[in-house]
A = this chain, B = another copy of it.
Amino acid sequence: MREFKQLTPYREALEMMLNDIKEIEEIEELPLDDALGRVLAEDVISLIDLPPFDRSAVDGYAVRAEDTFQAREYSPVELEVIDEITAGMESKKEVSNGKAVKLMTGNKMPKGANAVIEQEKVKREGNKIYVLRPVAPGQNVAFKGEDVKKGEVVLKKGQILRPQDLGLLKGIGIKRVTVKRRPKVGIIVTGDELIEEPDEEALNEGKILESNSAMLKALIRQYFGESIFYGVIPDDEELIGATLERAKCECDLVLITGGSAFGEKDYAHKFVNLLFHGTTIKPGRPIGYGERIFVMSGYPAAVFAQFHLYVKYALAKLSGANYKPTKVKARLKEKVPSSLGRHEFVKVYYENGEAVPIKKKGSGIMSALVESNAYLEIPEDSEGYKEGEEVWVVLY
């Protein structure tokens, strides 16, 4: 096996890759109900004020605040109730000196009124109320546009749509949103040793059940994309070349696993004009990238690290998503040594501010992935962290 002459530092390779990847231009228009998790393709500007009018923030009496300034518990101010409305109604009466309108939370403020007194804070007798304390102008009023102003950008291009975003959009009268098309990501799994179906005899002879496709399909879905699986391809130079060519035409991004090193049967890099091949990450060092193709390891734990360190950022760039990994402070329960010169991807289990490193070694170990729920990155210039040290972990 030829060794990598030089490993490209993690961040340098990341930047090269991200500079090469272009945001997808195609957009789709979707009803709100289908837009959860999708990426906004343009700024959304509100065409209305929210609230669309000054409205009451409580159930109570709309009054002129000035009328209440003299109100004291021992000398209440008497006001006349000239109208009573319920939800969704509008009072046509004007509140002048000494008058009040009974209304409910959300009702439009009647003309003349500039404050609302909560109903439990007055005494009611017939069509009179007795105000015991003054209210300030504006008190208990939600003003027109105080939530959202007409013409205001409420959500920016690149927003990954969440439940509250969809609620706001519905609340300002938007029924359909323009989102980016999902990136199409091809998955090619290579390796003579791999089988897709459990087969005891084959397993005994040294075959291995392929597992990268299931993991990658789900990761791609989690990170804004949709996957096309090209199957498990044997280590056949021609077949791999043809499959790569097809996938490149049909997809925005291609992930080919296995054959990323320089073994006799590592063909993938022969077909791709690689921008880099071999970076300082550990595990996953043999990763290569060029022409919208990631040449990845065969081992699931290495593939997983390569996905989180490189591929997810490629997917965010492609889909125009304003994505940042969630960084969380955690106290390390055990020391984590690291080799100088390697950008280590350390699987941890995070809970309530503590991170337990998952000690199982080896890029073939899948149970370690399952036990972890976050990762810690240790850059090239660090020899690792001590027990009890505070570190940043990224939640999966």
Contacts and interface: CB of A to CB of B under 8 A. Distances in A.
Interface of A: 1, 3, 32-33, 36, 48, 50-53, 55, 57, 59, 86-90, 104-108, 119-120, 142, 146-148, 154-155, 162-173, 175, 191-194, 197-198, 203-219, 221-222, 235, 261, 263-265, 298-300, 304, 324, 326-329, 351-353, 360, 362, 364-367, 369-370, 372, 392, 395-396
B209 A172 contact: yes
Given A33-B217, A327-B352, A168 B367 contact: yes
B88 A214 contact: no
A200 B317 CA distance: 39
B57 A170 contact: no
A48 B203 contact: yes
Contacts of A146: 365
Given A107-B206, A162-B396, A172-B209, 5 more contacts: A48-B203, A88-B192, A164-B396, A168-B211, A170-B213
Contacts of A216: 163
B3 A53 contact: no
Contacts of A171: 209-211, 300, 366
Number of copies of chain A assembled together? 2
A274 to B, nearest CB: 20
Contacts of A32: 214
A167 B120 contact: no
A164 B370 contact: yes
B3 A120 contact: yes
Contact of A211 (B170, B213, B300): B170
A36 B222 contact: yes
A41 B197 CA distance: 23
A178 to B, nearest CB: 16
Residue with the highest number of chain B CB atoms closer than 10 Å, among A33, A211, A264: A211
A370 B192 contact: no
Contacts of A86: 192, 235, 264-265
